[in-house]
Structure 1
Amino acid sequence: MRINPTGEYDEVFRSFDEDGDGKISPAELRSCMRIIGDEMDLDEAEALVQSFDSDGDGLLAMEEFFRLVEFEGGVEEEKELREAFAMYEMDGQGCITPKSLKRMLSKLGTSRDLSACEVMIQRFDINGDGVLCFEEFKNMMAI
């Protein structure tokens, strides 16, 4: 799969590439991150660029930048999924039980009996233990 197939990040890349050389330096990355409200010191920017700099020139070419954007989006999505999982998990067991699912659905205004919650969990319960771990929940949310 090609990153940025619709060209949605092209304009973002150009705005980060302040000097127009077709590459984003750590200083340019830091500057643009500050504009969007995300403070980052130069060492952090250099480390981030180094992590995604596949040709070793210390700069981010367009494709490298797209990989960074996709990665950062995935990190944010993972964080949001973990927060949602914690809301459903409720019992401190590290999993979503039929009982905790029933309780959360009731809070959301969608009342289900315990057997219906068991069936909902069973559909995504890969290992058959009767509960949803985070990975199973993540699979469920991907649908």
Structure 2
Amino acid sequence: MDIQQQYKRVFGYLDKNGDGKISPPELQICIRKMGQELSSEEAEMVAELMDSDGDGLLSMEDLVKVVEAANEEEKANDLKMAFKMYGDEDTITPKSLRRMLSKLGESRSVDECELMIAKFDLDGNGVLDFHEFQDMMMS
């Protein structure tokens, strides 16, 4: 079953009255099933923001956008947690990269870590900030 079929199946399940639209309370149920919480006010705000035709309800296409946005937020949070594993710094230095790789069983020299960082160091300062780390992880 491809992703579009899965979305249709979920949409059909949530669209209790079969009108082809998801109300804010139905959206709350959807988000809860994804393991996240959404208050009534937040669900109404999301429905208003993501609603493409202005009726305060979500179509299938609108729901796909909501789900994809939630998935992107989860990925970003996972990346932030991974970034913090390199230390309490706001950057990943060659030494902190070497330490983390060592914990993972990879033995690298500081010089090798400098080369690894240089590939994704967009501003050329010799360290990776979160955005550079994010680019590296997404490539």
Other-structure match for 1:105:
101
Flag structure 2 segments of 5+ consecutive residues without an equivalent: none
Q: Secondary structure at the match of 2:127?
A: coil
Partner SS for 1:85:
helix
Deviates most, 24-33 or 14-23: 24-33
TM-score by length of 1: 0.87
Residue 70 (structure 1) shift: 0.9
Identical amino acids, percent of aligned pairs: 50
Q: Match of 1:9, SS?
A: helix
- 1:58-77 equivalences under 5 Å are 58-77=56-75
TM-score, normalised to structure 2's length? 0.90
Describe how 1:57-136 pairs up with structure 2 within 5 A.
Answer: 57-88=55-86, 90=87, 92-136=88-132
* 3-state SS of paired residue (1:125): coil
* Alignment CA distance shift 1:16-1:45 (3 Å): same
Q: Name the CA distance, whole Å, in 1 between partners of 2:26 and 2:35.
A: 14
SS at match of 1:93: coil
Relative to structure 1, the CA distance from residue 10 to residue 95 in structure 2 (aligned partners, 3 Å threshold; closer, same or farther) is same
Q: In the comparison of the two structures, how many residue pairs are matched?
A: 137
Letter in 1 for 2:118: Q
Residue type matched to 2:93 in 1? T
Task: Report the alpha carbon displacement of residue 47 of structure 1 after superposing the two structures with TM.
Answer: 1.3
Helix, strand or coil: the match of 1:58?
coil
* 1:51 partnered with 2:32: no
Letter in 1 for 2:104: L
Q: Cα deviations across residues 57-96 of structure 1 (Å, max 9, x unaligned)?
A: 01001111111111111100000001001112x1x33000
Deviation at 1:41, TM superposition (A): 2.9
Gaps spanning 5+ residues in structure 1: where?
none
